[in-house]
Structure 1
Amino acid sequence: MTRIGFHASHEQISPAALLHDVQHAEKAGFAMAMCSDHFSPWSARQGHSGYTWSWLGAALATTNLTMGCVSAPGQRYHPAVAAQKIATLSQMFEGRFWVALGSGEASNEHITGETWPRKEVRDQRLDECVDVIRRLLAGEVVSHDGLVTVDRARLWDLPEQQPKLLAPVVSTQSAARVASWADGLITVLQPIDDLRRVIDSYRDAGGRGDLALQLHLSWASSEDEAESIAHDQWRSNVFGAPVSWDTETAEAFDLVSDKVTVEQVRESVRVSSDLGRHREWIHELAELGFDDIYLHHVGQEQRAFIDAFGSEVLPGLAASHDRQA
């Protein structure tokens, strides 16, 4: 049965409010949660960007949910420090934490002042970071000289259960490339045929583990309001590579998204005031084989969304699965 989770968007909501939101999501019936790991939002209108790793400690301690985040080691985070953070959360909350390791975006990584590498170099750097992190989590003393440098690093506190290291991907090429190291795959909403090709590419290359999807959606009591929320909050996020990879500031994202239409936003966000329509969309995505689907209402106010989906959408999805079984 596909599990339905809550996505906590640090770019859009303050850490304190987001902590209450994830606690409320658990009470409403969401089975798990994930969050972003940004230094900068995608838009000045979003206006937030709390430190994910502090927030995760509080969220894991005050809920019983399994949680994870998408993070980029190699520039903003040294891989040994990333491994220490992963190990600490995993040791405190055994079996409840995972992380998806990506190659990053300039909007978060440029703050170090280092050169932003070409994509193929970032991919190679990620591979090195994953190797370093895995070896540290296995208890090794690690030294490494390459695109990242590590000198005799060792983690002194390790979890009994190894946390899953997932791969966040969008393209079929990336899905095939990460299959050699990933414990599972997580992707974002795309056309159904594109999602099917990503899954096939990952599995055909030997990819193992669960498949997860982050589903951007917008719901409100009226269609106009749902559209307005999506257009206001998510029009800076409709761009593919290289814009999404290489744009450095929230102000620059606002500039390039100034002419984005509601119709363009609808290509990346499921927009409807009809809860039944949202349930159908989620069911369609689950049928592709996703084990986990994380719902991200792109609005800044989450309570009404959590209540409505908790009472009207999640039970309907469970009932549909039971009928099929």
Structure 2
Amino acid sequence: MNPSGFPLIRPRRLRHNPLVRELVRETTLDARDFIFPMFVRPGKGIRTEISSMLGNYQLSPDTLVEEVGLAKDAGVKSFIFFGIPTHKDATGSSALDDAGIVQEALRTLRKHYKNEIVLITDECFCEYTDHGHCGILNEKQGRTDVDNDATLPILTAQCVSHAKAGADMIAPSGMMDGMVGAIRRGLDAAGFSHIPIMSYAAKYASGFYGPFREAAESPPQFGDRGSYQMDPANTDEAMREVELDVAEGADILMVKPALSYLDIIRRVRDNFQLPVAAYNVSGEFAMVKAAAQKGWIDERRVTMEILTSIKRAGCDIILTYHAVQAAKWLKQG
């Protein structure tokens, strides 16, 4: 204490000058932190805005090339793709077609951009099945559910097909038990031991996915996905899920959603020595957009605060629909 009785330590000294605030800032964002999720469908000249996710589009491969180029110019270098096929059936067979829509998009982008960008593919079946669930169905004890073990071979085949088409990274999202190990063995056997797996290791059965289901045209036709996605109330279970994926060979660990699961991100960061990703999902994005349209919030300020909070919680990588706009804001300073 000084003679006046007031503490000598004044934290506000480091906040007075905005340049000093920048100098001592603990968490910083960079456009290289972002992965931009994109939706691709067959056709030409398609650029259909997603009504619940303004500024995001369903794109055909040709317009995808243009959109990726704009994102690249803004500083975004990593992309994850979701396919919307022309044909859906009970087993999602079009996902395995080497001439499928995601495969076509990968080959098209690789031709245009060589190795200038990172091409990642989401690996699941909800977009490809006519029932909207994430794998092959079976019925046990009068209940229809996804058959975990029957789904693993087709999931592996999908991943290998994407690797052949030019994917730089595989991101399985279906929350099937043993999926990372099955995919790792399949990729290695096919000559793709260099392809990393970014596992949706802790994916919750969340209400924040609604707009995505419009974008990917993949709502479940009955029930929900609670038998394979995690209970939002559980945190120790997430650690078990992540530990299993690490043991099976995951290279990057993802938590999804992000904003309501910052505590999970921090626990993963503290307990596992692998890169950590989080998915700032469609519902989180849509709420910000809707409130900003109403004039209730400042979209830029709130978005950057959210993205900073995700990184502060321990993320190295953020999947976000705000990727391109956030990259532009970062450039503006």
TM-score, normalised via structure 2 length: 0.52
CA contact (8 A) 1:221 1:273 kept: no
CA distance in 2, matches of 1:85, 1:293: 26
**In the TM superposition, what whole-angstrom CA distance separates every residue of 1:160-195 from its partner, at most 9, and x where no partner exists?**
x61111211324423344232221112333445x33
Instruction: Quote the offset at 1:86 in angstroms.
Output: 4.1
CA distance in 1, matches of 2:269, 2:312: 17
Could you say which residue in structure 1 is the equivalent of 2:137? Answer: none
Q: Say whether residues 1:276 and 2:301 are aligned partners.
A: yes
CA distance in 2, matches of 1:76, 1:37: 19
Could you say which residue in structure 1 is the equivalent of 2:174? Answer: 103
CA contact (8 A) 1:176 1:202 kept: no
Could you say which residue in structure 2 is the equivalent of 1:213? Answer: 278
Instruction: Quote the offset at 1:208 in angstroms.
Output: 4.5
Q: Say whether residues 1:28 and 2:74 are aligned partners.
A: yes
CA distance in 2, matches of 1:15, 1:77: 28
Instruction: Quote the offset at 1:225 in angstroms.
Output: 6.1
Q: Say whether residues 1:185 and 2:218 are aligned partners.
A: no
- Taking the TM superposition and a 5 Å limit, the aligned residue runs for 1:17-96 are 17-37=63-83, 39=85, 51-63=101-113, 64-72=116-124, 75=151, 78-79=154-155, 81-89=157-165
- Taking the TM superposition and a 5 Å limit, the aligned residue runs for 1:189-204 are 189-192=257-260, 194-201=261-268, 204=271
Instruction: Quote the offset at 1:10 in angstroms.
Output: 3.9
Instruction: Quote the offset at 1:287 in angstroms.
Output: 0.8
- Taking the TM superposition and a 5 Å limit, the aligned residue runs for 1:1-325 are 3-10=33-40, 12=50, 13-16=58-61, 17-37=63-83, 39=85, 51-63=101-113, 64-72=116-124, 75=151, 78-79=154-155, 81-89=157-165, 97-103=168-174, 122-123=176-177, 127=178, 130-139=180-189, 155=190, 158-159=191-192, 162-168=194-200, 169-171=202-204, 172=235, 173=237, 174-181=241-248, 182-192=250-260, 194-201=261-268, 204=271, 207-216=272-281, 217-218=285-286, 223-224=292-293, 273-297=298-322, 306=324, 308-312=325-329, 314-315=330-331
- The one-letter code of the counterpart of 2:197 is L
Bigger CA radius of gyration = 2
Q: Compared with structure 1, are the counterparts of its residues 191 and 81 closer, same or farther at alpha carbon in structure 2 (3 Å cutoff)?
A: closer
Q: Compared with structure 1, are the counterparts of its residues 178 and 198 closer, same or farther at alpha carbon in structure 2 (3 Å cutoff)?
A: farther
CA contact (8 A) 2:123 2:159 kept: no
Aligned pairs, number = 209
- The one-letter code of the counterpart of 1:137 is L
CA contact (8 A) 1:6 1:22 kept: no
CA contact (8 A) 1:8 1:22 kept: no
Gaps of at least 5 residues in structure 1 are 41-48, 105-121, 140-154, 228-271, 298-304, 320-325
CA distance in 2, matches of 1:290, 1:134: 24
Secondary structure of 2:314's counterpart equals coil
CA distance in 2, matches of 1:39, 1:180: 33
Q: Compared with structure 1, are the counterparts of its residues 83 and 8 closer, same or farther at alpha carbon in structure 2 (3 Å cutoff)?
A: closer
Instruction: Quote the offset at 1:65 in angstroms.
Output: 1.1
Could you say which residue in structure 2 is the equivalent of 1:241? Answer: none
- The one-letter code of the counterpart of 2:251 is D
Could you say which residue in structure 1 is the equivalent of 2:218? Answer: none
Identity, % of aligned positions: 13
**In the TM superposition, what whole-angstrom CA distance separates every residue of 1:84-127 from its partner, at most 9, and x where no partner exists?**
324424xx57xxx11112336xxxxxxxxxxxxxxxxx42xxx1
CA distance in 2, matches of 1:19, 1:77: 31
CA contact (8 A) 1:179 1:208 kept: no
CA contact (8 A) 2:198 2:252 kept: yes
TM-score, normalised via structure 1 length: 0.53
Gaps of at least 5 residues in structure 2 are 1-28, 42-49, 51-57, 87-94, 126-149, 205-234
- The one-letter code of the counterpart of 1:62 is H
CA distance in 2, matches of 1:274, 1:102: 29
Q: Compared with structure 1, are the counterparts of its residues 213 and 198 closer, same or farther at alpha carbon in structure 2 (3 Å cutoff)?
A: closer
The alignment's C-alpha RMSD in Å is 3.7
Could you say which residue in structure 2 is the equivalent of 1:301? Answer: none
CA contact (8 A) 1:184 1:208 kept: no
CA distance in 2, matches of 1:203, 1:224: 37
**In the TM superposition, what whole-angstrom CA distance separates every residue of 1:175-224 from its partner, at most 9, and x where no partner exists?**
344232221112333445x33225525863xx442111222324669823
